[in-house]
Amino acid sequence: MNTWSDQASVVEFPDGRRIRGASLRESRRTTEHSDFTVYLLGRAPSHPLGDYHWVKWRDFGVPASSADAVGTLQEAFERSTGERVEIVCRGGVGRTGTALALLAMMAGIAGTDAMDWVREHYHPHAVETPGQRRWLRQVATLL
């Protein structure tokens, strides 16, 4: 089983899963690489590392396809039991924080508490926009 070492950007969920959130720069500069990376970007990643999935997601926006985003994050959630999973966007805060909040819901945190939880355990500005907050409320009904 591959797990992350203790790092500031690694989030441990209540069910014990550990997932790293990162900016593109942090992701590329690390010495500890993921087994599976989810890129949340407006364009396909140039020079992705290893096994990955790209979710089309504009900066400060929401995913182009909720079904693709939720499906990919469900795969990331499942894989995180035995693999190093990383969630990456350009800045590592808004889109990554929104995705981590959805993963928190998958780990059993109530939808109404997920944003606050990820802000406490990952980044205080995670889930940056009103649109991202609305999107979380909408997809919470799909879980």
Assigned token pair, 62: 């929401």
Q: What is the pLDDT of residue 28?
A: 82
Does pLDDT of 8 surpass 80? no
Q: Where are the beta strands (DSSP E) in 1-143?
A: 10-12, 18-23, 36-41, 51-56, 85-89
pLDDT digits (tens, 9 = 90+) for 71-97: 999 999 999 999 999 999 999 999 999
Mean pLDDT of 15-27: 92
CB proximity list for 127: less than 8 A, separation 6 or greater: 94, 97, 98, 101, 115, 118, 119, 133, 136
User: In the chain, where are the structural domains located?
Assistant: 10-140
Pairing of the two strands 85-89 and 51-56: unpaired
Amino acid at 92: G
Q: What is the pLDDT of residue 72?
A: 97
pLDDT digits (tens, 9 = 90+) for 35-82: 999 999 999 998 888 899 999 999 999 999 999 999 999 999 999 999
Q: What is the pLDDT of residue 1?
A: 60
Q: What is the pLDDT of residue 5?
A: 76
Q: Which one-letter DSSP state was computed for residue 15? A: T
Phi, psi of 125 (to 5 degrees): -110, 15
Q: In this prediction, what percent of the chain has a pLDDT beyond 90? A: 79
User: Has domain 10-140 been given CATH number 3.90.1580.10?
Assistant: no
Please state the pTM of the whole predicted model: 0.94
